[in-house]
Amino acid sequence: MFRKEVILVAITLVPCANILSAAQIDSTWVGSGRNLWKTPTNWNPTIVPENGMNTFAVTIKQGVVGLTTDHSINSLDTYGTVKLKGVGGIEQPDITLTNNLTNHGFLKMVGPEIFGRVVNLCDATIMVSYEFNVFGPGGLHNFGTVVLGREQMWTEYDIENSNLIEMYNGMCDAQGNIINNATGTIRGSGFVGPESILIDNAGLIQSIYGTLSLLARSMSNTGCMRSSPGASIAVKAGLNNQGIIEINSNSAINFDSNFTNDPNGIVRLLGGTLAARNITQKTDADFTGFGGITGNVKIDPGAIVRLTGPTHIVGDVNIPAGATLEISDGQLLITGQTTCEGTVHLKGGSIVFQGGCDCDSWNVINEP
């Protein structure tokens, strides 16, 4: 009996001893210049951070850190100017995190793939200089600035932006959704996608430098979409607009499908072109300006479209009873067929029905 009791005690104590010996080690980079992660003397304490019996919370305050193999750690905090780079023929080494990669400074990613959640804090910057992939359910949460050159940033889950994603013909890609919060801006040129996702914009999406292509299967806009002069936005999906669409001179916003300006939605046409298969103006929506409109236009009963300068509509126009088209300070040229049972209000403007007009029962108000 006594011998069995001793054996049982020994069996239960061994696992406890293992648990007690494991610890989290706070590991700080002390390497100077360009150095390798795998070198113990680049760390304080002088142990290469690699989860095993012990786990590691890693801090890098400055430096160029070369990775020649994959590493697994608890967390990674970067400060100052830090470059993480795959070297030694390993272009995309993995850093697997139990918790987060949190950037407090200027972090330049040249290759490493992150398995875990990435958080870019206020006043911090992540610059992508090589394809940057983030795996795992945490995704990328940006409260600072992310800069994409001619490179791709991809996440397996969501990208949530609360400040600035700056694109210079880069690609911002997610397998989850792309959520641009009310304080967020996505601007520049390149591609945001892919076609399988939702883009939810409550902030600002702005094209500059060229064309910004939004490739998502669906899109919502309660914020602002703006095409800067000489730049365009190309949208794969249609849109029921509940925010602001602003199209500046020598620019365009093009929808591959239908565009509906919902109640409280605003379209400001400032010399550019709005294009979609069908364009519908709803009651209590605001549509003003001048420039180009491509697609079939319908103004719902009770709704009004105000054109304030020279405008060319390439498509059919339907103005049913109760709807109003107002034209001031310029000529409207309609290339397609016009059907009008509503009101056309000419306030110093004029209209040319190049494609013909079925307007027997329309109401014309002509002011000097």
Give 301's strand partners: none
83-102 mean pLDDT: 94
Q: DSSP of 190-233, one letter per residue?
A: EEEE-TTSEEEESSEEEEEEEEEEE--SEEEESSEEEEPTT-EE
Q: Distance (Å, rounded) from C-alpha 229 to C-alpha 200?
A: 24
Q: Distance (Å, rounded) from C-alpha 58 to C-alpha 75?
A: 6
310-327 mean pLDDT: 98
In this model, does residue 13 exceed pLDDT 70?
no
Q: Are strands 232-235 and 252-255 parallel, antiparallel or unpaired?
A: parallel
Give, for 15, the enclosing helix (H) or strand (E): helix 2-21
Q: Distance (Å, rounded) from C-alpha 43 to C-alpha 32?
A: 11
Q: Distance (Å, rounded) from C-alpha 345 to C-alpha 324?
A: 7
In this predicted model, what pLDDT tens digit does every residue of 236-251 receive, in sequence order? Answer: 999 999 999 999 999 9
Mean pLDDT is lowest, of 5-14, 113-122, 246-255, for 5-14
In this model, does residue 293 exceed pLDDT 50?
yes
- Which pLDDT value is given to residue 33? 86
In this model, does residue 11 exceed pLDDT 60?
no
Among 130-134, 136-140, 264-268, top mean pLDDT goes to 264-268
Mean pLDDT is lowest, of 44-48, 69-73, 128-132, for 128-132
In this model, does residue 6 exceed pLDDT 80?
no
Q: Distance (Å, rounded) from C-alpha 143 to C-alpha 149?
A: 19
In this predicted model, what pLDDT tens digit does every residue of 217-240 receive, in sequence order? Answer: 999 999 999 999 999 999 999 999
In this model, does residue 160 exceed pLDDT 70?
yes
294-298 mean pLDDT: 98
- Which pLDDT value is given to residue 4? 35
In this model, does residue 352 exceed pLDDT 50?
yes
24-51 mean pLDDT: 96
Whether the Cβ atoms of residue 105 and residue 86 lie closer than 8 Å to each other: no
Name the nearest CA neighbour of 239 among 205, 289, 188, 290: 205
63-71 mean pLDDT: 96
- Which pLDDT value is given to residue 8? 38
For residue 129, what are its two tokens?
Answer: 């200089």
- Which pLDDT value is given to residue 21? 52
Whether the Cβ atoms of residue 190 and residue 169 lie closer than 8 Å to each other: yes
Q: What is the mean pLDDT of the chain?
A: 93
- Which pLDDT value is given to residue 22? 74
Write phi, then psi, for 2 (nearest 5 degrees).
Answer: -60, -40
- Which pLDDT value is given to residue 89? 84
Give, for 2, the enclosing helix (H) or strand (E): helix 2-21
Give pTM, 2 decimals: 0.92
Residues 6+ positions from 179 with CB-CB distance below 8 Å: 158, 159, 160, 161, 200
In this predicted model, what pLDDT tens digit does every residue of 164-187 receive, in sequence order? Answer: 999 999 999 999 999 999 999 999
